[in-house]
Amino acid sequence: MPNLTEINQKLRNQSPLDIIEWAINKSHQEHGKSIISTHFGPYEAVLLHLVSQVKPDIDVVWVDNGYATNDTYRAANKIIDQLNLNVHIFVPQRTQAYLNVRYSGLPELDTPEHDEFTQILKLEPFNRALATLNPQVWFTALRREQSALRQGLDIISPAGDNLIKVSPILDWTTQDMENYIKQHNLPNELNYFDPTKGPQGRECGLHKVTF
């Protein structure tokens, strides 16, 4: 694992494209692979557009949990077509119908049932994606203003053995995202639902642990 403190200091004042180019070059030098994860929710097209400018054929990981709104699915199709994305879809090993019966709907937050639900719906499929694609670089659209946890993140952070998580737009604001969407005429959809986060939009677990 490289010295991430030095790398973050070096990249702190760089543009998102410069950060992406650094990470892509790093994976190439190590004969590795890069991925970008997405749920095609609000403003997700921004990082997908940025990364695809540097590496158009990058592997895009979509954990489709089956609970997305119709608007999100329509927006996803538009983004995929417009950016010609190389999408790999991973789905839970249990259906929404099964989960609705098992938990009598959505489980309450801060319960063992909710932890199990999150593991089935999101963490297991994403871990399966990592095992299948075996990347060395993982791009995320995390931003500091989204939650208290994300306030303390670095641009580059460890995410497991030989895997780094790269957040090129970590310091962008919602207004920055809005401006980029308009500038590049990108699809965007705000009617998004994540059943693992609850109404408070809390962390689902994907970015709270390493893999």
Q: Does domain 4-183 have CATH number 3.40.50.620?
A: yes
Question: 46: closest CA among 145, 156, 142?
Answer: 142
- As a whole number, mean pLDDT of residues 73-85 equals 98
What's the pLDDT tens digit per position in 171-204? 999 999 999 999 999 999 999 999 998 665 555 5
List CB contacts of 190: < 8 A, sequence separation 6 or more: 42
What are the tens digits of pLDDT across the range 113-171?
A: 999 999 999 999 999 999 999 999 999 999 998 766 667 789 999 998 889 999 999 99
| pLDDT value at 52 more than 70 | yes
2 confidence band (pLDDT: 50, 70, 90): low
Taking phi first (over 0 means left), then psi (-120 to 50 degrees means alpha), and beta for anything else, what does residue 145 get?
alpha
Q: Side chain identity at 180, as an amino acid letter?
A: Y
Distance (Å, whole) CA 189 – CA 203: 20
What pLDDT is stored for residue 29 in this prediction? Answer: 80
pLDDT of residue 28: 82
Contact indicator for 145, 170 with CB cutoff of 8 Å: no
In this prediction, residue 197 carries a pLDDT of 84
Measured CA distances, 127 to 16, 140, 158, 176 (Å): 26, 15, 15, 31
- pLDDT tens across 6-45, in order? 999 999 999 999 999 999 998 888 778 999 999 999 999 9
Domain ranges of the chain: 4-183
